Amino acid sequence: QTAMLVDEIEAHQRTDAALQKAKEVAEAANFAKTRFIFGLSHEIRTPLSSIDGYAQLLERKAVRDPNEAVRVIRRSTEHITNLVDGLLDISKIETGALHIQRDIVPIVGFLDQLMDMFRLQAAGKGLEFRYTRSANLPACVYADEKRVRQILLNLLSNAIKFTNHGFVSFDVRYSTSQAVFEVADSGIGIPAAELERIFEPFERGTAAAGVPGTGLGLTISKLLAQLIGGELTVKSEPGRGSVFTVRLLLSEAAPTAPLPAVRTIVGYSGPARTVLIADDDPANSGLLEEILTPLGFRVLVADNGPRCLELAATCDPDLVILDIAMPGMTGWQVAATLRETHDEVLAVLMVSADAHELTTPRPGPILHDDYLIKPFDHDELLDRIQTLLDIDWIYENPSAPVAALVNA
């Protein structure tokens, strides 16, 4: 009986220890999330403050340099967009919803462009920037250009952010289809106990306290490296700097023809087309109207579903752009009615800020022809419209007046 009692006491002690450990882990996770929310709030509020401040000045026409105001607003918007994209990327990677592309990337030019950008950033902090790459680096490789750029941007941005004196270096080596990217710095360094923790979501090293950021960059970079079939490792010493190493399998590819120069679209050929926009947010519909009207489109705007159907019955649109999340009658409900009242020639482009909303909510016929996720690039919008309406763009030509480019 004494032995049984001792065993029972030891079992209780083990259970208590396990419960205490689980409690500590849960508390640490909650604390990490709380720190993350504070960091996220700072990262969002700072650019929002710039956007709001310059928007008020522009509204009052009190800004000295409108172009600079627009540039600040654009940069701030891109910052917020990148932040949201980062959160979505983590979610997609963890759920297996993010797919890797296989592009032909002119790796030398790709890296040189990145280095030009970071060389300026380093110079702005008075840092020496060193860039070396092996002579056997191929002209082109197969890679997901967006994701490789994302990894390198995160690592180089961090190196410059956490280095106040000395240098930041970027070394590229290539052997048997494997590229090794090494980012080193003489910055604040990371304690050994934190080297694994810094890759966890919501976590930042103690040395990073007071430095703006959410702690998402390293998490995303490590997950992406693993998804691509590579790895991200780190060596560091407090006060002496860090070395982050990325190994990726990037097989050599045959060079492709150079991309054509970017051209400005000023109109389209053929008869005038009518575009009906349905969005309850005037800012969104106004933006679309500002893009499409100068190109010769006849643009009509509805701020709700029923009004959209009224206009569609009288204006015979060629394309309807529908926001999904309209109050009352959703974009899907409007699309279903349009499919019943109009023939299949009518093109429907769905727009949403949530990618999960872009799946037809019920079984049956496809209600839309294509979709866009907010925020979207202007070129992306015009590419969709060109495909849906089967039109040919007319590009900027000083010898031809814009008014003559579209036949009324």
Q: Which two tokens stand for residue 112?
A: 């040189």
- What residues in the chain have per-residue pLDDT under 70? 1, 28-29, 31-40, 42-43, 46, 63, 201-215, 256-262, 343-344, 354-365, 397-408
Pairwise CA distance, residues 34 & 210, whole Å: 15
3-state secondary structure of 278: strand
DSSP annotation of 198 reads G
3-state secondary structure of 396: coil
Count other C-beta atoms under 10 Å from residue 334's C-beta: 27
Backbone angles phi, psi at 305, to 5 degrees: -65, -50
How does strand 241-249 pair with strand 178-185?
antiparallel
Q: What is the pLDDT of residue 404?
A: 36
Q: What radius of gyration do the chain's Cα atoms show?
A: 27
Q: CA 83 → CA 47, 130, 336, distances in Å?
A: 11, 28, 34
Q: What is the pLDDT of residue 120?
A: 81
227-248 exposure pattern, b = at least 16 Cβ within 10 A, e = fewer: bbebebebebeeeebbbbbbbb
Residue ranges and CATH numbers for the domains of the chain are 2-84 (1.10.287), 103-249 (3.30.565.10), 265-404 (3.40.50.2300)
DSSP-H helix ranges across 262-377? 282-292, 305-315, 331-341
Q: What is the pLDDT of residue 40?
A: 66
Q: What is the pLDDT of residue 17?
A: 84
321 contact partners, CB below 8 Å, separation of at least 6: 275, 276, 277, 278, 279, 288, 349, 351
Q: What is the pLDDT of residue 366?
A: 74
Q: What is the pLDDT of residue 290?
A: 92
Q: What is the pLDDT of residue 167?
A: 96
Q: Using one digit for the tens of pLDDT, what is the confidence trace for 251-286?
A: 999 876 665 566 789 999 989 999 999 999 888 899
Chain length of the chain: 408
Q: What is the pLDDT of residue 403?
A: 38
